[in-house]
Each structure stands twice: as structure tokens, then as C-alpha cells.
Amino acid sequence: MEYNTQKKKLILPEYGRNIQKMVDHLSEIEDKEERAKTAQVVIDVMGNLYPHLRDVPDFRHKLWDHLAIMSNFSLDIETPYPLPSIDDFYEKPEKLPYKNNNIKFRHFGITVEKLIAKLRDITDSDERRALIVLIANHMKKAYITWNRDGVEDEQILKNIEEIYGEKIDFPEDLELSSSKELLQNKNSKNKNSKNKKNNRTYRKKQY
């Protein structure tokens, strides 16, 4: 018995071994015109694997790209689309520079630190209070996401001051949402999102 591991490695396994054999056969056809006609047949067979996409122009272009890749870019035929070169295929992408942000509290994230820094630019008391409440409630929700035991409001305000770098005069009547309210809002959003997804799935099945 011959195992797949003993056979030639497939370049694009998603198309299967039979289509790879068809592509290999193309390079053996000497007549260029016949080779081009046979290549079109192979493209049609490849498209039959995805019948809902086979007539989409962008997808047809992708099929020709895949044909070139599966043939190791050795086919000498006229194609309806410009094909990638072997140099482009093996070219390594440029390394992306990643910012190494020194986040004081990683469970709150860098966005929270940026919002807290914005407090320095706000002089209007009402606007400043609204931003503090927004930040603090968001931090509290982020905290209880990982620690269901909850957290005291004083701890959240202390963390804000630590990130801010100095003491903040919080409004005396400042009151944050309760842990229960924040969790209920979070669960309600997740439930609504799930219901919308189920409704979309149901409508698709109807059609």
C-alpha cells in the first residue's frame, strides 16, 4: 500500500492530488494552443470546488494564480490575468515594527492611559467629571472581567491617580456603577450580539 506521505508533496493541498496531476500533465503538452485550452479546463474544474465563487472575477484571477503556483510557475501560456512571478511568491514580507508600550496596568490597556492623560487638557469641571466617570467605570468593568470577586471604587480611583502620576481632586459625590450593573450590561450586550447572529443564520436558512 502506498501512503500519502510517500507521494509527492502537494503544493496546494486544498485542491487535492487529482487536480495536481492535471496541472503536472499541462507541462507535458507540447502544443501551446492545446496547452492553453487544457489549462482553461483545469481552471473550470478547480472552480467547481467553489461553485458559488467560480464566476466572480476576483476569484477567477485567484484560480489562475493558484494554477501558476501549482505548476511552479513553469507554464508557458497566455492567461487572462497578470500572474505573480516566482520572485514575488518567495519574497519575504517586511518586518513590522511593534511598539513596546510600557503599560503600567496591562489589564486596563494603553487606551485607558491615553484617556487619563487627556484629563490634563480639560478645564471644564462638568466635562472633566464626565470623563473621569467614563474612565473609572470602564476600568472597573475591565477589572471584574478577570476578577469576579469585584473591586472597591477607591481602588479604581487610586489606580487612576497612579497612572496620572499625581493626586487628583475627584468630585466628592462621585459614584461609579456597581459591579452587578456592569456585569449585567456586559452580559446583555453579549446576548444581543448572539441573538443577532442567530437571526442572521435563520434568515440564511430561509433563503
Q: Where are the domains of the chain?
A: 11-90, 96-179
Tell me how far apart the alpha carbons of residues 63 and 56 are, in angstroms, rounded to a whole number. Answer: 11
Tell me how far apart the alpha carbons of residues 193 and 196 are, in angstroms, rounded to a whole number. Answer: 5
186 or 40, which is more confident: 40
pLDDT of residue 185 exceeding 70, the answer is: no
Range in 23-32, 41-50, 102-111 with the lowest mean pLDDT: 102-111
State pLDDT tens for residues 8-23.
888 899 999 999 999 9
65 is written with which cell numbers?
Answer: 494564480
The CA distances from residue 196 to 158, 183, 185, 189, 199, in Å, are: 39, 20, 16, 11, 5
197 is written with which cell numbers?
Answer: 447572529
Backbone Cα Rg of the chain: 30
96 or 41, which is more confident: 41
Say what the pLDDT of residue 207 is. 46
Say what the pLDDT of residue 158 is. 93
* pTM (whole model) above 0.85: no
| Residues 79-85, mean pLDDT to the nearest whole number | 86
Helix axes 57-70, 32-48, angle to 10 degrees: 120
Say what the pLDDT of residue 193 is. 56
Confidence of residue 148 (pLDDT cuts 50, 70, 90): low
The 3-state secondary structure of the chain reads CCCHHHCCCCCCHHHHHHHHHHHHHHCCCCCHHHHHHHHHHHHHHHHHCCCCCCCCHHHHHHHHHHHHHHCCCCCCCCCCCCCCCHHHHHCCCCCCCCCCCCCCCCCCCHHHHHHHHHHHHCCCHHHHHHHHHHHHHHHHHHHHHHCCCCCCHHHHHHHHHHHHCCCCCCCCCCCCCCHHHHHHHHHHHHHHHHHHHHHHHHHHHHC
Say what the pLDDT of residue 104 is. 84
Say what the pLDDT of residue 205 is. 47
Measured CA angle at 20 (ends 15, 24), to 5 deg? 160
pLDDT of residue 39 exceeding 90, the answer is: yes
pLDDT of residue 191 exceeding 70, the answer is: no
Do residues 125 and 114 touch, judged by C-beta distance below 8 A? no
3-state SS, residue 185: helix
Range in 12-21, 46-55, 83-92, 181-190 with the lowest mean pLDDT: 181-190
pLDDT of residue 124 exceeding 70, the answer is: yes
User: Of all residues in the chain, what percent carry a pLDDT higher than 90?
Assistant: 33
